[in-house]
Amino acid sequence: MPQVEIKIGPQEQSFECMEGENLLYEAISRSIMIPFNCTSGRCGTCRIRVLEGAENLSEMGDREALRLGEERIEQGFRLACQSYVFGDVRVEVPQPRFY
């Protein structure tokens, strides 16, 4: 099973999940609070930055790419609600409004 590590500020938490599961839903189900509003990729609140394992997440869709913009994509940002896990990944949740 894929291993997911999430860094929020100075804390890091990790969990295993089934392949193909949604990163946001899996984190929330384990009380790892990634900020979110819509869960559909429209608001951009659930931004995460991929530190390792970007190739193990689902491909980025048009809605996600439009919401993030080219600069954030180049910096490794994704939307947790649009990211499905297919292998080990390590991400960080930016501190509020630092993105």
Model pLDDT for residues 60-73, shown as the tens digit of each residue? 999 999 999 999 99
Single out the residue of 76, 90, 79, 92 nearest to residue 22, CA to CA.
79
- Farthest CA pair distance, the chain: 33
Q: Provide the CATH number for the domain around residue 80.
A: 3.10.20.30
Instruction: Provide the pLDDT confidence category of residue 95 given band limits of 50, 70 and 90.
Output: confident
Model pLDDT for residues 34-63, shown as the tens digit of each residue? 999 999 999 999 999 999 999 999 999 999
For residues 96 and 46, which has the higher predicted lDDT (pLDDT)? Answer: 46
pLDDT for 60 equals 97
Cα separation, 83 vs 31, in Å, equals 18
The number of domains in the chain is: 1
- For residue 13, the enclosing domain spans 3-93
Look at residue 99 and tell me if it is in a domain. Answer: no
Instruction: Provide the pLDDT confidence category of residue 98 given band limits of 50, 70 and 90.
Output: very low
Single out the residue of 67, 25, 24, 27 nearest to residue 44, CA to CA.
67
Global pTM value? 0.93
